[in-house]
């Protein structure tokens, strides 16, 4: 019997064939993430006159298995920003912890809540700052060939307290637009949102209610057509007054009438 | 000072024949000269307050904070040598961060006090170092709800084994005072620094161990006690600095924050009024005596 | 099969084998599946005049057949004193993989800013051009996947355009098109800027034909040329469109205009 720890619990070669123990070899190449494991699907967001509405469903899939059904993929930071995470859930959790410690470090030197006259302006992390930081982090990780497998939307306010919405992906690519969607949403939800906010001016005319309605409509379409989506979702509205986050919303007024005419959606006899 | 000339006070890590470490006792002297710091453990939160001695007229009011945030839910204040206190805070922040890295959840107040107690104690053991010239008061509020692990997936079962039990609460307010020797105890009310005797006498009157007081009341008492402990005739001018921590459903949402200016100023107004009333009463008594 | 027999004297007979590198089921080395690059489409164009330089780019950002955003600038001011870049004297356009483009822009900008702080004057375009080449070549074996074009005024006040390949090979030119529609715009530029295939009327036939004399364009003509070039590219290339960002650098500073392009 081989008592070396490396051999503990391993199947015997003479019975099962050579065992690939490469992952235990300290001199071998480092294994970085090659593909995401537990994943979240689309995140959608749209700007309106005073802020941003952002939504994502509460599902974390394991391949095609709907594995975790109450995962909150919208996360609030510094009480003023919501980040929506698509892609790998463990990387999302890593980023969540990382940003939490960043926010704690920031609070050490936070000036008083109502700084006395003549004091320095409030130092705080706004959405634009967080987005820049995350984009640099994602780019640095892709440059190490060890990417954080996420596509993020950052919703909040910029330095001038104007609505801010921008995306960053696992390659460090960034872009900003009046409406954004990740994953399937970029094909299914983005055309709907662009009808209401084709440009910044149009987005600036949208009311909060209109923006929420559009996003809810998008979540419904995504649930109809994205097989890795869920009817339970989170939605957040970010404005100057803070973050209004609801984490247990249900899709309303679904109508599957359209499906009857489509082969593969339901029971079909011919 | 019976120690002087015996030689046993010249090195840390050397006991005197009657079992004392004089270097530690000298460190306590450094603390006794510092501005008064107090902490009050209330029913629904903790208050920290410090008498910040204005060492220079060139300081901007409100600048040079003395109370530090250790983690979201933890704060600390200290009396004695300020640079030692700053290092204490740095170390406490490292401990809090390391705890989060390991356990993915915030460090309980008791554990932070334990770690910092151990850290200070180590500085009494070696001849190459000197003990900390501070006594620190650490305050925290461990969340009463089962605290979510940072970035956890889902919330687990809602009922049954492993599920959330209705009405069960955890945590609560915590207050600890750590001395240069590394000794630390949990307190209902803690005071250190120059005015500690007067402050302790006032804290004992508050019935913190029995019925307890509310956080709002605590803020007012803390302000008053700092004013009481300050000797107008002898001491330099001071500024009152206060911070507080409540539960997640309280005014600070579970975080350690500076007491808002409006609340602090109201507490200071009441504190000054209480002092004036006392003086008047003393005056009256004196008058009565005169009449006799 | 030495590995079949243990170093451990207690053991003889079959053993547990430990191979070195991850392999596929076929026994071949397994390669990294992660691709660190992508293509965000778009096109850029720069033209040097006698006393001006125009650097332009469309503002569309794409991933495959999707439009990420209709306004993502590709032309940047470089080396201003502050982040507002009000007093910048150099323009950089990058097209290709947008994340690399922004990283490259940030690095060049930081270097130019440090130069400005240390020397008390902005870097010359020619110096900046060489520096950019070095930055690109430093990543020779993990290149910035971009086609960069640098524009400015040289020490004599003449318009200068420098164009680069992804690993730092560069050249000063009169004009250059880059990105998705480069192959569409380049022949147009050859004809309209460098007067290729233009001959003096009546100068004869065959080898007697006299080429039209090449002179720098006037600013207004160059600006129209840029707009026409992009209008043409938009018609024929799906990754180009939405907006045209055009920056013109003269001795008086940098002017920026944003013109609409087709959004289809």
Classify each residue of A87-105 as buried b or exposed e, where b means 16 or more C-beta atoms within 10 Å of its C-beta. Answer: bbbbbbbebbbbbbbebbe
Chains with 3+ CB–CB pairs under 8 A to C are: A
* Cβ atoms C94, C146 nearer than 8 A: yes
- Residue from the list A2, A31, A186 with its beta carbon closest to the beta carbon of C16: A2
Answer yes or no: is B94 within a domain. yes
Structure tokens at B188: 């209902």
User: Which chain C residues are closer than 8 Å to A34 by Cβ?
Assistant: 32-34
Q: Do A142 and C99 touch (CB under 8 A)?
A: yes
* Cβ atoms A208, A27 nearer than 8 A: no
Give dist(CA A97, CA A137) in Å, integer: 14
**Which pLDDT value is given to residue C21?**
58
Domain that holds residue B104: 22-291
Q: How many CB atoms lie within 10 A of CB A132?
A: 14
**Which pLDDT value is given to residue A28?**
59
**Which pLDDT value is given to residue B167?**
67
**Which pLDDT value is given to residue A116?**
46
Answer yes or no: is B57 within a domain. yes
**Which pLDDT value is given to residue C28?**
72
Total structural domains within chain B: 1
ipTM: 0.86
Domain A38-250 class? alpha beta
The low-confidence residues of chain A, meaning pLDDT below 70, are: 1-2, 6, 21-33, 110-123, 266-270
Structure tokens at C244: 């045209």
Structure tokens at B92: 């406490």
**For range C86-94, the mean pLDDT:** 97
Structure tokens at B23: 């270097």
**Which pLDDT value is given to residue C22?**
59
**Which pLDDT value is given to residue B93?**
97
Please give chain B's pLDDT, 292 residues, in tens: 667 777 888 888 889 999 999 999 999 999 999 999 999 999 999 999 999 999 899 999 888 899 999 999 999 999 999 999 999 999 999 999 999 989 888 899 999 999 999 999 999 999 999 999 999 999 999 987 665 655 566 666 666 555 556 666 678 999 999 999 999 999 999 999 999 999 999 999 999 999 999 999 999 999 999 999 998 778 789 999 999 999 988 999 899 999 999 999 999 999 999 998 887 777 676 666 655 5
Q: What are the extents of the domains in chain A?
A: 38-250
Structure tokens at B290: 């005169």
**Which pLDDT value is given to residue A156?**
97
- Residue from the list B72, B154, B260 with its beta carbon closest to the beta carbon of A104: B72
For residue A170, report the phi and psi dihedrals to the nearest 5 degrees.
Answer: -60, -15
* Cβ atoms B16, B3 nearer than 8 A: yes
Structure tokens at B84: 């030692």
Residue C210 has pLDDT above 80, yes or no: yes
**Gap from A220 CA to chain B (nearest CA, Å):** 22
Give dist(CA B150, CA B100) in Å, integer: 9
> Domains in chain C and their CATH numbers?
43-61+68-259 (3.60.20.10)
Q: Do A97 and B150 touch (CB under 8 A)?
A: yes
**Which pLDDT value is given to residue A122?**
52
Terminal C-alpha separation, chain B: 45
Question: In angstroms, how far is CA A65 from the centroid of its own chain?
Answer: 19
Chain A contact probe: residue of B153, B240, B256 with most A CBs at under 10 A: B153
Report yes or no: C220 at the A interface, CB cutoff 8 Å.
no
Q: DSSP letter at A194?
A: H
CATH code for position B257: 3.60.20.10
Structure tokens at A198: 């084709």
**Which pLDDT value is given to residue B135?**
98
Structure tokens at C189: 């530029």
Closest CA to B68 of A107, A28, C90: A107
**B183 Cβ neighbours under 8 A, 6+ residues apart:** B117, B121
Report yes or no: C9 at the A interface, CB cutoff 8 Å.
no
Structure tokens at B78: 């200290």
Q: Do A174 and C98 touch (CB under 8 A)?
A: yes
Chain C contact probe: residue of A12, A16, A18, A144 with most C CBs at under 10 A: A18
Those of residues 155-174 in A touching chain C at CB distance below 8 A are 167, 171-174
Chain A, nearest residue to C143 by Cα: A143
Give dist(CA B290, CA C4) in Å, integer: 108
Report yes or no: B155 at the A interface, CB cutoff 8 Å.
yes
Answer yes or no: is B5 within a domain. no
**A148 Cβ neighbours under 8 A, 6+ residues apart:** A33, A88, A91, A94, A95, A137, A138, A141, A170
Quick: pLDDT tens for C214-259.
999 999 999 999 999 999 999 999 999 999 999 999 999 999 999 9
**Gap from A206 CA to chain C (nearest CA, Å):** 19
Report yes or no: B154 at the A interface, CB cutoff 8 Å.
yes
Quick: pLDDT tens for C14-41.
555 555 555 667 777 665 578 999 999 9
**Which pLDDT value is given to residue A115?**
45
Report yes or no: A1 at the C interface, CB cutoff 8 Å.
yes
Catalytic positions of A: 33
**Which pLDDT value is given to residue C9?**
47
User: Which chain C residues are closer than 8 Å to A200 by Cβ?
Assistant: 71
Q: Do A172 and C23 touch (CB under 8 A)?
A: no
Cα angle C80, C84, C87 (rounded to 5 degrees) comes to 35
Chain A contact probe: residue of C34, C61, C66, C141 with most A CBs at under 10 A: C34
Give dist(CA B67, CA B39) in Å, integer: 11
The dihedral through the CA atoms of C229, C231, C235, C240 has a sign that is positive
Answer yes or no: is B270 within a domain. yes
Classify each residue of B255-273 as buried b or exposed e, where b means 16 or more C-beta atoms within 10 Å of its C-beta. Answer: bbbbbbeebbeebbebbee
**Which pLDDT value is given to residue A109?**
75
Answer yes or no: is B10 within a domain. no
Q: What is the mean pLDDT of chain C?
A: 91
**B136 Cβ neighbours under 8 A, 6+ residues apart:** B76, B77, B78, B85, B88, B116, B177, B178
Within chain A, residue ranges assigned H as helices are 13-16, 89-108, 127-143, 185-188, 190-196, 200-205, 208-225
CA atoms within 13 A on the CB side of B270: 16
Structure tokens at C121: 């004057």
User: Which chain C residues are closer than 8 Å to A175 by Cβ?
Assistant: 61, 68-69, 72, 98
The dihedral through the CA atoms of A186, A192, A195, A197 has a sign that is negative
User: Which chain A residues are closer than 8 Å to B100 by Cβ?
Assistant: 97, 100-101
Mapped onto helix, strand or coil, the DSSP state of residue B142 is strand
Answer yes or no: is B88 within a domain. yes
Answer yes or no: is B7 within a domain. no
Answer yes or no: is B115 within a domain. yes
Residue C8 has pLDDT above 60, yes or no: no
């Amino acid at each position: 019997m081989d008592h070396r720890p490396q051999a503990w619990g391993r199947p015997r070669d003479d019975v099962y064939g050579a065992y690939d123990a490469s992952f235990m070899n300290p001199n071998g190449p480092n294994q970085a993430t090659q593909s995401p494991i537990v994943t979240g699907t689309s995140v959608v967001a749209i700007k309106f006159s005073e802020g941003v509405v952002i939504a994502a469903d509460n599902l974390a899939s394991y391949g095609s298995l709907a594995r975790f059904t109450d995962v909150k993929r919208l996360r609030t930071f510094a009480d003023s920003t919501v980040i929506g995470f698509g892609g790998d859930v463990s990387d999302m959790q890593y980023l969540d912890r990382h940003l939490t410690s960043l926010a704690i470090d920031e609070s050490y030197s936070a000036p008083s809540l109502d700084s006395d006259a003549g004091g320095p302006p409030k130092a705080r992390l706004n959405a634009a700052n967080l987005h820049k930081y995350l984009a640099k982090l994602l780019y640095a990780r892709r440059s190490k060939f060890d990417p954080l497998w996420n596509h993020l939307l950052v919703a909040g306010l910029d330095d001038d307290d104007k609505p801010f919405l921008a995306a960053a992906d696992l390659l460090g690519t960034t872009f900003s637009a009046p409406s954004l969607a990740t994953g399937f949403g970029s094909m299914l939800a983005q055309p709907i949102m662009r009808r209401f906010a084709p440009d910044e001016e149009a987005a600036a005319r949208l009311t909060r209610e209109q923006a929420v309605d559009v996003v809810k409509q998008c979540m419904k379409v995504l649930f109809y057509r994205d097989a890795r989506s869920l009817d339970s979702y989170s939605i957040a509205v970010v404005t100057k007054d803070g973050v209004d986050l609801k984490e247990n919303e249900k899709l309303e007024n679904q109508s599957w009438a359209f499906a009857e005419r489509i082969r593969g959606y339901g029971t079909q006899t011919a | 000072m019976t120690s002087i000339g015996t030689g046993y006070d010249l090195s840390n890590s050397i006991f005197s024949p009657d079992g004392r470490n004089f270097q530690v006792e000298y460190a306590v002297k450094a603390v006794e000269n510092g501005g008064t710091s107090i902490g009050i453990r209330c029913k629904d939160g903790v208050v920290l307050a410090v008498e910040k001695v204005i060492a220079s007229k060139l300081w901007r009011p409100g600048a040079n904070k003395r109370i530090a945030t250790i983690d979201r839910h933890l704060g600390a204040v200290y009396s004695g040598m300020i640079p030692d206190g700053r290092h204490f805070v740095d170390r406490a922040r490292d401990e809090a961060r390391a705890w989060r890295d390991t356990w993915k959840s915030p460090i309980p107040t008791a554990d932070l006090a334990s770690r910092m107690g151990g850290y200070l104690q180590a500085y009494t053991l070696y001849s190459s170092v000197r003990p900390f010239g501070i006594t620190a008061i650490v305050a925290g509020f461990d969340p009463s709800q089962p605290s979510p692990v940072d970035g956890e997936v889902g919330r687990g079962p809602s009922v049954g084994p492993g599920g959330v039990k209705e009405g069960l609460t955890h945590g609560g307010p915590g207050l600890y005072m750590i001395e240069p020797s590394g000794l630390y105890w949990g307190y209902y009310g803690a005071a250190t620094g120059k005015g500690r005797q007067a402050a302790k006498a006032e804290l004992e009157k508050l019935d913190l161990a029995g019925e307890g007081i509310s956080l709002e009341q605590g803020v007012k008492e803390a302000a008053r006690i700092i004013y009481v402990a300050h000797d107008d005739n002898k001491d330099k001018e001071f500024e009152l600095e206060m911070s507080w921590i409540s539960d997640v459903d309280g005014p600070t949402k579970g975080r350690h924050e500076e007491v808002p200016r409006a609340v602090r100023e109201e507490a200071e107004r009441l504190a000054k009024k209480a002092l004036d009333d006392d003086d008047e009463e003393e005056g009256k008594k004196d008058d009565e005596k005169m009449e006799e | 099969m030495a590995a079949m027999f243990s170093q451990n004297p207690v053991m003889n007979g079959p053993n547990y084998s430990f191979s070195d590198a991850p392999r596929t089921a076929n026994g071949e080395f397994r390669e990294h599946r992660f691709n660190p690059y992508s293509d965000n489409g778009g096109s850029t164009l720069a033209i040097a005049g006698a006393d001006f330089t125009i650097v332009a780019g469309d503002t569309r950002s794409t991933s495959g057949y999707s439009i990420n955003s209709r306004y993502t600038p590709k032309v940047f001011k470089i080396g201003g004193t502050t982040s507002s870049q009000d007093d910048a004297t150099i323009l950089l356009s990058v097209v290709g993989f947008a994340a690399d483009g922004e990283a490259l822009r940030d690095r060049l900008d930081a270097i130019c800013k440090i130069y400005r702080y240390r020397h008390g004057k902005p870097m010359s375009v020619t110096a900046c051009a060489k520096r950019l080449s070095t930055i690109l070549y430093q990543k020779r074996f993990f290149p910035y996947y971009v086609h960069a074009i640098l524009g400015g005024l040289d020490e004599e006040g003449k318009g200068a355009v420098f164009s680069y390949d992804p690993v730092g090979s560069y050249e000063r030119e009169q004009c250059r098109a880059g990105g998705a529609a480069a192959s569409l715009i380049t022949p147009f530029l050859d004809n309209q800027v460098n007067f290729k295939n233009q001959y003096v009327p009546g100068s004869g036939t065959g080898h007697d034909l006299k080429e039209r004399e090449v002179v720098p364009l006037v600013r207004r003509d160059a600006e129209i040329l840029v707009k026409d070039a992009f209008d043409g590219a938009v018609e024929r290339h799906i990754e180009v469109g939405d907006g045209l960002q055009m920056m013109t650098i003269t001795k008086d500073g940098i002017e920026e205009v944003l013109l609409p392009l087709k959004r289809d």
